Amino acid sequence: MKRILVLCTGNSCRSQIAEGYLKHFAGDRAEVFSAGIETHGVNPRAIRIMKEDGIDISHHTSNHIDEYRDMSFDYVITVCDHAREHCPYFPSEAETFHHNFPDPARATGSEEDIMEAFRITRELIKTYCKQFVADHI
């Protein structure tokens, strides 16, 4: 079974969404974890937009990368430039991947505008994760 770690800055939106989709698409063929270089808690809007697509991430927790220092991974995926550039050295033989997704938590405007930004990011991450699983799992 493959082991995947998804990294982002605060482990609140993008990495949580990716964790949800990677688990969904990989099923029992992979163990998926997510973490941040900081922890900001799981964003309620991320939970809501994933629920719209039938995936429940309400049980996810926001974890710090240090929690996974003693684990080995096959793949480490960074989902934002900040995490890629500022992630402390992570001793691993994992194959690394990077894709900078827009941060929906930075969206402004009405609640509907913000939710639309979350949906756009969700769809980008969903497409990426589906392809990642097809290519690597």
Q: What is the pLDDT of residues 47-56, one digit of tens each?
A: 999 999 999 9
Domain that holds residue 102: 2-136
Tens digits of per-residue pLDDT, 11-52? 999 999 999 999 999 999 999 999 998 899 999 999 999 999
Helix or strand or coil: residue 40?
coil
41: left (phi over 0), alpha (psi -120 to 50) or beta: left
Please state the pTM of the whole predicted model.
0.94
Q: CATH number, domain at 11?
A: 3.40.50.2300
Dist. CA 99–CA 29, nearest whole Å: 22
List active site positions: 8, 80, 87
CB 15 within 8 A of CB 36: yes
Split into its structural domains, the chain has a count of 1
